[in-house]
Structure 1
Amino acid sequence: MPVGTISSSKDTVGVAVVNYAAPVVRTREEVLMNCNRIANFVDDVKRGYPGLDLIIFPEYSTQGLHPTKWLQLSTTVPGPETEIFARACRRNNVWGVFSITGEINTNGNPWNSLLLMNNKGEIVMNYHKINPWVPQEPWQPGNKTMVVEGPKGLKIGAIICYDGNIPEICRDTVLKGAELLVRIQGYMNPSREQQRMISQVRAWENLTYMAVSNLAGRDLTYSGIKSIE
């Protein structure tokens, strides 16, 4: 996150986009330890930037990208992971975007979910990734775009990773009223310039703002990139 000042007023929304390092987790206990690290990160950012209204964490920042553990580490929404995030939002009076990969689905494979929580710790959006990265990702595809009212009345729409490459998904979200498109993603280093350009194009062609958070760092199979847009 670049150094600067997040100011707050009734007419502005202070947004922090986090390039969180890919966590290496193998058990549910390690996932919860990582959730507490994310919660502590929220505390630290709010302390340093008192005008913060919304903080955004990238895709796979909660349960990681372990190639053989994705299904084993799936969880419920709400669940123990989301309760840790909810407490962080409440005590800091901020909204948060968090990743759950995957969310248990009783009718099929788990979902890849983006959760938007308000400053009371309530889940106000649960968006499921529409276009999983086949065949690598095992997730059940979502089937709808979503827009909700966020901090200070800002209309927020959500997309996950490859969804942002599909013009119609972004267009449909904006037609539903989105003023800010939140894109969380887990793109690797070879896609750096492609994804930077695509996000700029989606913002321009829809005449809206876009906040992009990409998974950074390295794990067993992943080499991430920073992406502050």
Structure 2
Amino acid sequence: MNVSLSRRSSVLLLALVALAASAGVTAAASGASLNAAPDDPRVTSTHTATITVGQATGSSSLNGLSVDYQGTGADVSDVDKADVVTVGIDRGDNESGSTVDVTVRNDLETVDISNGGRTLTAGFGGSYTLQEGDEVVIVYEGVKNPKAGTYDIPMNVNPQSSGGNATAVLSIGSGSSDGGSSADSGSDSDADSGGSTTAQSPGFGVLVAAFALVGAAFLARRR
């Protein structure tokens, strides 16, 4: 009976690990990217943000997209609706760069700036439906780049319902405009020291892996 109970426990534990991993896959967006042109520090730049739609957001209307620069020193205070150069959907995420299959510029209703000029949220009318694997693309002018460094930038498709979260990496070069000048002090109280990569909490996949290791140890002990 003990052997039977041990086997049942093993099967149940493995099923829980598989279920947790499956939930992690379906909940999030993926493939976020953020590029600055020019990528020199401290200059006004055009940013291109993309994020691939996950299963949780698939088959829903495009209602919003947020890009969160908090903790970087970047400033989007001067960005408004008129500064959006391109916004659309790359069906199946099979195009490169800012190329889109469907332009949704006519459905863009608002560009809201919050958190002291650190978060940009584009609001849409919901006229376009997303499918899993689509890439949402937005290009906007008027961003003040932070100092040189590499930064993690959270993005969210349909942020009002937390439809799909992903993190992009923004790389800012060490151009002459940075120059080690006095601009490095005071103006970026929320920036990372030294411009290093922003610290992030462990992702769901890390937690699943840890859970799987615990399960494997448990099974080994039962044997």
Q: TM-score, normalised by structure 1?
A: 0.28
Higher strand share: 2
Q: TM-score, normalised by structure 2?
A: 0.28
